[in-house]
Structure 1
């Protein structure tokens, strides 16, 4: 994905506020060489941020007629308005190793034995993973194939088929669970039978 940035000469809280009022977003790009203050068009950036690839892939930033490869590192949003307040990018090259949280895309769930034959649903325990890899190997997402899922057996990090250059950071947890089959429990509603009507009424007086 490509985007256009512009050099930002004036800095400070007041300058950033004026930029936002003018429909711009202040930002910074760092790494490889000196940090540079930048500004971007707010609407273009806001729409780009809705795309998953903008968060988890190497981007091409055009700045001053030069194209540089970068990755999104940080984002500051207004607490309740649809407004981007600040954005950080990191320059990368063929030798840069980065750490990023990457989303998981689950496929073939309906084709698994657990779902088709064993009346289970698949619980997606995590939706993303923290990985470390060369920037040029950064995946937009990781594909998790659930076709082999069977009742009673979970899918773990070590079961994923990944590029050898990608290392999953588990933060001390040993081979954490990615997905697990859960048996569907059928809810049985018991309706109490209505009491039988009395065949005859007692206590009638004699004629």
Structure 2
């Protein structure tokens, strides 16, 4: 089982200059914790620990146990600021996850049975992913690491929408709450098949 735990230190030296010194001299990353009924708190994290955590895509859709000098905070990664050229993390925003308060988070989609999809295997089409992630609303305990999209019975010319997804209990899709049933994936004719059809029509 993956360990979604990070250690943090309280940070009192604030400002851009302090953040630059922190990253340069101590290989640390500045971060802030906010939300819930508590005041925002500035902390610092070990850069290599953050990099290791982010190797797992589930870190972005999982409640993280953040240990701040003896106190535990349940948080979500709400935003990352990365270096524009080198890509390493420069700052992290954490949102407190309160047990009885719904939260919103972005969760990845995992596509299943793409090789055995009817529209691909039997009808010669190919799959196009319209979405790779979705925003969900739920209690922290119900937050899924990912949502499955089963492509097994999708036929050529068929499109799956958000309303076709099977959601875990207690989980809602933010887009549907706003009346937007977005396309998730579809099976369409390949370029070769299209060209063959057009040539046949021309003849």
Q: TM-score w.r.t. structure 2 length?
A: 0.86
Pick aligned residue for 1:15 from 2, 5, 18: 18
Deviation at 1:63, TM superposition (A): 1.0
Matches within 5 A, 1:1-207: 1-22=4-25, 23-32=27-36, 33-170=38-175, 174-186=180-192
Q: Counterparts of 2:75 and 2:180 in 1: how far apart (Å)?
A: 32
Which runs of 5 or more residues in structure 2 are unaligned? Answer: none
Q: Render the CA deviation track for 1:104-145: whole Å, top value 9, x for unaligned.
A: 110101112111110111111111112111122111111111
Q: Is the 8 A contact 2:144 2:168 kept in 1?
A: no
Size of the aligned set, in residue pairs, is 189
Deviation at 1:183, TM superposition (A): 1.4
Partner of 2:85, secondary structure, is coil
Partner of 1:110, secondary structure, is coil
Q: Counterparts of 1:12 and 1:116 in 2: how far apart (Å)?
A: 57
Q: Counterparts of 2:158 and 2:20 in 1: how far apart (Å)?
A: 54
Q: Counterparts of 1:166 and 1:130 in 2: how far apart (Å)?
A: 10
Deviation at 1:93, TM superposition (A): 2.5
Q: Render the CA deviation track for 1:78-121: whole Å, top value 9, x for unaligned.
A: 11123321111111122121112211110101112111110111
Q: Is the 8 A contact 2:65 2:75 kept in 1?
A: yes
Q: Is the 8 A contact 1:114 1:151 kept in 2?
A: yes
Which structure shows the higher helix fraction?
A: 2
Q: Is the 8 A contact 2:11 2:42 kept in 1?
A: yes
Deviation at 1:173, TM superposition (A): 5.7
Q: Counterparts of 2:115 and 2:86 in 1: how far apart (Å)?
A: 38
Q: Counterparts of 1:34 and 1:130 in 2: how far apart (Å)?
A: 26
Q: TM-score w.r.t. structure 1 length?
A: 0.85
Task: Please provide the CA RMSD for this pair.
Answer: 1.8
